[in-house]
Amino acid sequence: MAIQDGLVIDCADVQAAGGVRHILIREWQDGDLITTDEALNRVTRIQDSGAVDADWGVYESEIESSSLVINGVNEGKDNTEYELTLSFFLPNLERTKMIRLQEMQGKCLMAIVVDVSSIHSSATNFIQNFVLGISDTRGNVYPNAYNRNQTYARIASIEGGTGTAFSDKTGVTVTLTCTQFQLPYTYTEAAGAGITIGATGLTATTT
């Protein structure tokens, strides 16, 4: 692949739907092992310490309320800085949601965003997804010492409330953000790797 190869837009591109299907979130852990393919700008494995499955929470949001925004600004020479912003709406203010959001405060996070147009390989695995909070310019594997390079995702804001009228929405819009120096990786399944959604739909693993 090269600049000279160009790009084509086909019927599937024109018909692609907007929106987010799933949001997966986890906290960076000491010993996380991230394998990337820099030539294709993708993550092929996300594993916990000891190369075992990494655990994620699956966060459902109100339909047609979630979005991933990519904002790139060239800072001079070959240095382009990208601000990634993921927003999603959690309807109905209640204790469990508040506890879960409080647990994210001050944490180094990573997230996987599965968009509505993502291609499915089976009922539980997805071929292409966007990754926030993982950015690497040194090599293709995150060893122990390098898993905190300040490009992690974090809670930027939580906005909302009860509303006033009975017809008003009650809930909060959660915004995660991260700053990195490349377009977001896609998480693309390698042989024997992928995302598996748990039976409850609230947890997932990557391997």
Which residues constitute the domain of residue 161?
A: 20-63+77-194+196-206
In a domain, 143, yes or no: yes
pTM: 0.86
Reported as half-sphere exposure (CB side, CA atoms, 13 A), residue 170 has a value of 9
In a domain, 56, yes or no: yes
Q: For the chain, 207 residues long, give each residue's pLDDT as a single digit of tens.
A: 578 888 888 887 777 777 788 899 999 987 888 888 878 888 888 888 777 889 999 999 998 899 999 999 887 777 788 999 999 999 998 899 999 999 999 999 999 998 887 655 444 455 568 999 988 644 444 544 444 467 889 999 999 999 888 888 899 999 999 998 888 998 876 655 678 889 998 999 988
In a domain, 4, yes or no: no
The total number of structural domains that make up the chain:
1
Please provide the DSSP assignment of the chain as one string: --GGG-----HHHHTPPPSEEEEEEEE--TT-EEEEEGGGTEEEEEEETTTEEEEEEE----TT--EEEEEEEE-STT-EEEEEEEEEEEES--HHHHHHHHHHTT--EEEEEEETTPPBSSSS-BSEEEEES---SS-SEE-GGGS-SS--BEEEEEEEE--SSTTS--EEEEEEEEEESSSPPEEE--TT--EEE-TTSSEEEE-
In a domain, 54, yes or no: yes
In a domain, 119, yes or no: yes
In a domain, 69, yes or no: no
In a domain, 11, yes or no: no
